[in-house]
Homo-oligomer: A and B are copies of this chain.
Amino acid sequence: MIAVLKPNTTKQQRDNLITWLEGQKVSVHVSEGHDYTVLGLVGDTSKIDIELIESLDIVESVKRVTESFKQCNRKFHPDDTVIDVGGVKIGGGNFCIIAGPCSVESRDQITEIAKGVKESGATLLRGGAFKPRTSPYDFQGLKADGIELLLEAKKITGMPIVTEIMNANHLPLFENVDIIQVGARNMQNFELLKELGKTGKTILLKRGLANTLKELLMSAEYIMSEGNTNIILCERGIRTFETYTRNTLDLSAVPMLHELTHLPVIVDPSHATGAARLVKPMALAAAGAGADGLMIEVHNDPIHALCDGAQSITPAQFKEIAEKVNRIREVMGQ
């Protein structure tokens, strides 16, 4: 950790700070420049509260030189993590396509979509059972029944399933779920992350709406620090001032995360854009950016059929996307 002191710091102030820091069991190297003094802190700086140091009047800035994320850091684990979920490999050059409806609505609905997307190239089935909604008065999902229906669709199609958790107390319901999703609003629900870290489940961790990549990695680190290293990161759009799209898909997150971490990184173009007609171009773009997979909403419910187009795409559109994505991946591999 490096702390730059302000030009007008007195020797007494500097020495007081150094004494305090040494009391925190780190050793301090002082380098004096013309206008500034740099303190280099060596030792276990993880206990030092960087915000406290930064808030001192004599401190210009503080910087951790070693990143605060360790276990998910590519520097310490140069090889890609490859996760095996019911026989489907994710990461390390393996491309996964997760598809399914926004919410599980009925046995027929989930089974029919599951068959459709499997045929068209999907390798995993998604479907919401517990739904985080801004309003307490909105539909909150079929809950335990939704998970039961997903498990039935898994049995019929053989596809591993992905569904979201909102409360660690629900974990027993997720016993046969293959991938447990943590939604954007719970990305910094640290208590939930720690509980998931104690399971051996694969966790799909979505980036929060206004969170940085570093915060996403620190949340992955919460899970890993409890012993669970099976984590898939998911870029699903961030909040910006743009209103034509629901959120703004940050595709530069893909190569940037690949540089910072060994964990697989997938992209959800459906939630990011909120518009079916933007799913195809953004899915192809995600492939071009080097994503390890896609998570796409596919529907067969009546309002879509009636009204021709909504946030979900049809199985036929999904098939075309899956084919083109695979061909773009071929171009990139050469």
- Residues in chain A within 8 A of chain B (CB atoms): 2, 4, 7, 13, 16-17, 19-20, 29, 31, 33-36, 38, 40, 42, 46-47, 49, 51-52, 54-58, 60-61, 63, 65-66, 68-70, 132-139, 166-167, 169, 185-186, 188-191, 194, 209-215, 218, 221-222, 225, 238-246, 248-256, 259-260, 272-278, 281-282, 284-290, 302-303, 306-311, 324, 327-328, 331-332
Contacts and interface: CB of A to CB of B under 8 A. Distances in A.
A44 to B, nearest CB: 10
B55 A310 contact: yes
Contacts of A36: 2, 40, 65
A292 to B, nearest CB: 13
Across chains A and B, which 8 residue pairs bring their CB atoms closest together, nearest first?
A210-B210, A31-B31, A57-B309, A284-B288, A288-B288, A33-B40, A285-B289, A285-B288
A307 B17 contact: yes
B282 A17 contact: no
A146 to B, nearest CB: 16
Contacts of A132: 188, 190
B306 A17 contact: yes
A72 to B, nearest CB: 11
**How many monomers of this chain does the complex have?**
4
Contacts of A185: 188-190
A259 B277 contact: yes
Contacts of A35: 42, 65-66
A124 B282 CA distance: 27
Given A29-B31, A252-B282, A255-B282, A136 B188 contact: no
Contact of A31 (B38, B65, B242): B38
A4 B215 CA distance: 22
